[in-house]
Chains A and B, each alone.
Chain A
Amino acid sequence: MSNKNILLSHLKIADIVDANSAVLDLGCGNGDLMEYLEKNKNVNSQGVEISEDAIYKCVEKGLCVLHSDIDGALEDYPSGSFDFVILSQSLQQVKRIDNVLEESLRIGKKVIIAFPNFAHISLRMMLFFQGMAPVAKALPDRWNDTPNIRFLSIKDFENFCAEKKYKITEKYFISNSRYTYILPNLLAQQAIFVITI
Chain B
Amino acid sequence: MVIKTNRSVGIVETKYFTFNDLILENKHKLPNVTVAYETYGTLNEKKDNAILIAHAFTGDAHCAGYHEGDEKPGWWEGMVGHKKAFDTDKYFIICSNVLGGCQGTTGPSSINPETGKEYGTDFPVISMADIVKVQKKLIDYLGIEKLFCVAGGSMGGMQVLQWAMSYPEQIRSAIPIASTMRHTPQQIAFNEVGRQSVMADVTWKDGHYYQTGNPDRGLAVARMLGHITYMSDVSMQKKFPIKEKEKSVNFNFNADFEVEEYLRYRGSAFVKRFDANTYLYISKAMDHFDVQKEEFLPLGKNIKIKFLVISFKSDWLYPAYHSENIVKYLKMRRQSVTYCNIHSTYGHDAFLLEIKDETNLIKNFLGNLYNEVNGVK
Q: Are B339 and A52 in contact (CB under 8 A)?
A: no
Which residues of A are found within 8 Å of B372, using beta-carbon distances? Answer: 62
Interface residue tally for chain B (C-beta within 8 Å): 26
Complex: how many Å from CA A58 to CA B334? 20
Q: Are A59 and B338 in contact (CB under 8 A)?
A: yes
Binding stretch for chain A, among B40-48, B96-104, B358-366: B358-366
Knowing A62-B372, A77-B331 are in contact, say whether A46-B336 is a contact too (CB < 8 A). Answer: yes
Digitize A42-56: 1 where CB-to-B-CB distance is under 8 Å, 0 elsewhere.
001010000010011
Q: Are A62 and B368 in contact (CB under 8 A)?
A: yes
Q: Are B332 and A78 in contact (CB under 8 A)?
A: yes
- Asked whether any CB of chain A lies closer than 8 Å to the CB of B24, the reply is no
Q: Are A59 and B340 in contact (CB under 8 A)?
A: yes
Of A52, A66, A78, chain B has the most CB atoms within 10 Å of the CB of: A66
- Asked whether any CB of chain A lies closer than 8 Å to the CB of B327, the reply is yes
| Residue among A59, A61, A66, A77 making CB contact with B361, cutoff 8 Å | A59
- Asked whether any CB of chain A lies closer than 8 Å to the CB of B225, the reply is no
Contacting A at CB under 8 A, from B337-366, are: 337-343, 357, 360-361, 364-365
- Asked whether any CB of chain A lies closer than 8 Å to the CB of B249, the reply is no
Complex: how many Å from CA A63 to CA B336? 10
- Asked whether any CB of chain A lies closer than 8 Å to the CB of B239, the reply is no
| Residue among A58, A66, A78 making CB contact with B327, cutoff 8 Å | A66
- Asked whether any CB of chain B lies closer than 8 Å to the CB of A81, the reply is yes
- Asked whether any CB of chain B lies closer than 8 Å to the CB of A67, the reply is yes
Interface residue tally for chain A (C-beta within 8 Å): 20
- Asked whether any CB of chain B lies closer than 8 Å to the CB of A180, the reply is no
- Asked whether any CB of chain A lies closer than 8 Å to the CB of B29, the reply is no
Contacting B at CB under 8 A, from A146-175, are: none
Q: Are A64 and B332 in contact (CB under 8 A)?
A: no
Taking A44-B336, A76-B332 as given, write out 18 further A-B residue pairs in contact, using a Cβ cutoff of 8 Å, ordered by the A residue number.
A46-B337, A52-B342, A52-B343, A56-B364, A58-B338, A59-B338, A59-B340, A59-B360, A59-B361, A62-B369, A62-B372, A64-B306, A64-B337, A65-B339, A66-B337, A67-B339, A68-B327, A76-B331
For the complex of A and B, 7 pairs with smallest distance between CB atoms = A62-B368, A76-B331, A76-B328, A66-B339, A67-B340, A60-B364, A55-B340
